[in-house]
Amino acid sequence: MQGISDSKAEMKRIKNKAKELSESIVEWRRHFHKYPETGRKLPKTADYIEKNLRNMGIEAESGIGESGVCGIIRGKGEQKKCLAIRADMDALALKEKNKLDYSSRHEGKMHACGHDAHMAMALGAASLLQDMREELKGDVKLVFQPAEEIVEGAKAMIEDGIMESPPAIDAIIGAHIGNLWGLESGEIGYRKGALMAAADRIEIEIRGKGGHGGMPHKTVDAICVGAELISSLQNIVSRNISPVDAVVISIGEFESGSAHNIIAEEARLTGTVRSLSEATREKLPELIENKVASVCNSAGAEYSFEYHHGCPVLNNHTEFTDYFVEIAREIAGADKVKEISSPTMAGEDMSYFLQKVPGTFFGLGTSDPDKGTDYPHHSPFFNVDEDVLWLGSALFSTAAYIWLKNN
């Protein structure tokens, strides 16, 4: 991209300033980690972010998408565009098992997916860019989003006008920290096109005929029907979908029965459906319901079926990702920038923003066995390597600064 080669001095300056800010970024991260909140109601998290933005002299507004926060850094360019930096805010309903000075103080809640680091890195970028606002050729919108884990926050903020409200967003960047793509600490992962899967949810209720456990021939066993259905659903993946088109159907809940000697009359199953192609995704509700109907009808059971669409496939914009890769190689070193060879079937509602405007979502590795930061996401022992948090802030702020300069 024109302008990157002649911006190396500016990029080096931002990198050095980000390193100097490292202690503050770690402090912010530890505060978020200590006081996790879940879902769409994040009053203390939102208040802490808003206060920090205002203390930096940044315009800030909360209550977007219920608990989301928006900060605006206004540049000085005449033909101004706006780049957004997005960070998710919510934690998980999980009891932390780490024994740290900053372990969760909220029982049964934990930042086990790195959102605490995302917010801290975004605050770091906010501080850096606010200090450079006289040099910015456009505006930066800081999007702190609730409810990523339940795939509601991005959509809620969009419905509340985050994309169009002045200044309207023209491009967006976000990141996921940790070891989601096998990245080692300090490595940066990128991928053009599909990076993360569409994530949908299914609910199935089976109604059979209950009875005595010793007289099964007089019943329609809802548990047997449900068990057969779980196995049969996998035939959709193996026989109805192209073997080169990734689809996952997983049943995560199976509730049925009331006693050891009673054949269950009803069963309830819920599950997740992941896909990487919108064309395939459109076929899945009918394929799944046909399978449910076939199994239930053959057993003499009745059923109800609901398919809930979640976030779409996360597709990174090719041109913007190419631009970001050049930035990342300059900031972190070419040897640290890795192309992600294949998508993950995990979902991420950053995809809603990337449907609206070009941008990219990248990975920042923090896996280091010597530091105990190699546990998987959503583990009660999950932690991140805080020594690389400054790098996330440097990448956010440099990408915004150079993009606005050249657009």
Ramachandran angles phi, psi of 220, nearest 5°: -125, 105
Question: Contact 206/296 with Cβ under 8 angstroms?
Answer: yes
As a whole number of angstroms, the distance between CA 184 and CA 336 comes to: 9
Counts of helices then strands in the chain (DSSP H, E): 10, 16
As a whole number of angstroms, the distance between CA 181 and CA 258 comes to: 42
Question: Contact 266/207 with Cβ under 8 angstroms?
Answer: yes
Which residue of the set 66, 96, 116, 148 is catalytic?
148
Known catalytic residue at 61: no
Question: Contact 253/194 with Cβ under 8 angstroms?
Answer: no
As a whole number of angstroms, the distance between CA 177 and CA 389 comes to: 9
Helix (H) or strand (E) holding 7: none
Known catalytic residue at 90: yes
Within a 10 A sphere around the Cβ of 227, how many other Cβ atoms?
16
Residues 6+ apart with CB under 8 A from 125: 85, 142, 392, 393, 396, 397, 400
As a whole number of angstroms, the distance between CA 49 and CA 68 comes to: 10
Question: Contact 208/229 with Cβ under 8 angstroms?
Answer: no
Say what the alpha-carbon torsion angle 145, 147, 150, 155 is, to the nearest 10 degrees.
Answer: -50
- Total number of residues shown for the chain: 407
Which residue of the set 90, 149, 266, 330 is catalytic?
90
Active site residues: 90, 148
